[in-house]
Structure 1
Amino acid sequence: MNKVMRKTGVLLLAANIFVASTISISPLGAQAANETVQVSSYEMTKAEVYALFINRNPSNDIRDGLNYVPVNDAIEAVSLLEDTTQQTELRAILDKAITQLTAKIKTSLTIETTLNGATEITGELVSQTAFIAEVYNAAGEKIAMTTGMATGNNTYRVALNHVNRYNEDGTWRDMGAVTLEKGMKVKVYVNLLRSNGQRFVATTLTQDVIGIPYEEAVAAVSALFLNDDPKEMVALTTSKASVEEAQRKVNILTPAPEKEVLQGYVDKAETLVGARDAFEKITLSADHKAATFALNNAEQSYYTYQITVNGKSVQTTSSVDGAIKKCCNVE
């Protein structure tokens, strides 16, 4: 909508008189046919803000498929209101939409192609979301930057054949091509506007450029276990994050028997880390015929665990006291 029309909220309709292919508009109030349609800019803007939500109801969540474009339009519309009380009211509703959109974008962002020799960056992101992609060298200096937008299927692909290139001191160099090399880092981030028009980083993700895929995948998987041996127990330093990183490197590999072997080791590590992290402490009774488990969160207490006490396999009972679960006695 025209900004002037949005601001004034007044639309004038007058009788048209056609004479010799010319049109004359009579002055306002000169004829009974003239009408003045008063349109409230507040009501128009309020409707625009409400349209961001399911069923146009701000008590609901944001509607499916919402992206930053209509949100930005609504932010601009609110800024044109002259009544500060009305602005405050609508900005509070806008903040809810912006918070939910930010969370949606944050959970959707991934970076996929960060291999040595790659000439593009791909990944997943909420449809129609604009983003900035940057490439850093091994020293942490930004050497390239470009922009893009996620497609309708919630993915993105940005070529590195014509990007902004920078000198070591951070000054702009030229437009040209960049090829990813091992040791570099790729950063993708999304900027949004707050309800008052201030820009902020909604989400950011940085990923290392990896070299020879299979060798790095083997190293990452082996490092999850004691003595770098997948036949051993998981190492004490292994975490959910390190398992996820190993999984990412295995995912990059092309289908092959070797990939299936590595995937089996990752699955094993994930299971063992989950089991290890489920318990904070196991306490045996004085006669070693019973065990009490202290779980690290209440949700895990609802599962049944099979253990071995005194050489006999038993299961935990279903009784739960907070995050404490007791094992049945061993006869």
Structure 2
Amino acid sequence: MSTSLDVSKLGAHIGAVISGARLGGDLDPATVDAIRTALLEHKVIFFRDQHHLDDDDQVAFAGLLGVPTIAHPTVTSRGETVLPIDSRYDKANSWHSDVTFVDRVPKASLLRAVTLPTYGGSTVWASTEAAYDQLPPALRALAESLWATHTNLYDYVDGHRDVISDETREFRAEFESAYYETEHPVVRVHPETGRRVLVLGHFVKRFVDVGTSESAALFALLQNRITRLENTVRWNWRVGDLALWDNRATQHYGVADYDDQPRYLRRVTLSGDIPVDIGGRPSRAVAGDASGYSDAVGPDVVAVQPVAIG
């Protein structure tokens, strides 16, 4: 079946704008399939002028694409299914894929802009698939042999303790309130496309069986490949925008260049599977039980009934 969607590519490796869709839980199957196809191809897709969306509509639309997780494995006081991204306490100005410190990495995230600063506050996405594809053979072989330990400790996220507000300190304490540690392959096989992608980002603490200094050098070498400008797309938000990205094939960075202005967005994540390396070996949970966050589900599973939000 044909749809009225218009897909405009933004870059060679990542990003597209989709027009012609009024998002919500009542989209027809052909449109949902077209959106899913565009997501797999372009890694992150953007929808303008979705002013009609509220939390219920955002969750309902998400349920057509997968099974929404709870809002976060540890940050549970701010909503059941929809996580507020609030500049008062959370400026995630570092490269990451969402929630890689658990074994069942979310397959996708949906972010809706509600309140924005008058300048700054854009978000940048990078293709971890393109980064892998561009590695020379020797580096590919090295990356494919590596596993990395991911945790939710801010010591490793930031590398240092900044002077922070009480509100930020409270948020970080909740973020770390339950400890998670997972070993993921540095190269995973995407469960839908079969392509190989790099699994890194700011939740990485070290590489398994590699010393601290060598881990830092290897991380910089591979992470810098991901964030090459040619592998990125930058989105300048407008109120009413919704971004949908494949969390298995991207990293993103919220640029904190808006001073003390308010920036407020709403995020829903979709349950994903447990990554496997090129030999089929699955990621290993070392600490923390993520079963309360989400089930580990296959890529074709969607919500079978409305999801309660909070």
TM-score range (shorter-chain normalised) is: under 0.3
Tell me which of the two structures has the higher relative contact order, counting C-alpha pairs closer than 8 angstroms and 6 or more residues apart: 2
Q: Which has the higher strand share?
A: 1
Give the TM-score taking structure 1 as reference length.
Answer: 0.21
Give the TM-score taking structure 2 as reference length.
Answer: 0.22
Q: Which has the higher helix share?
A: 1
Which protein has the larger Cα radius of gyration, Structure 1 or Structure 2? 1
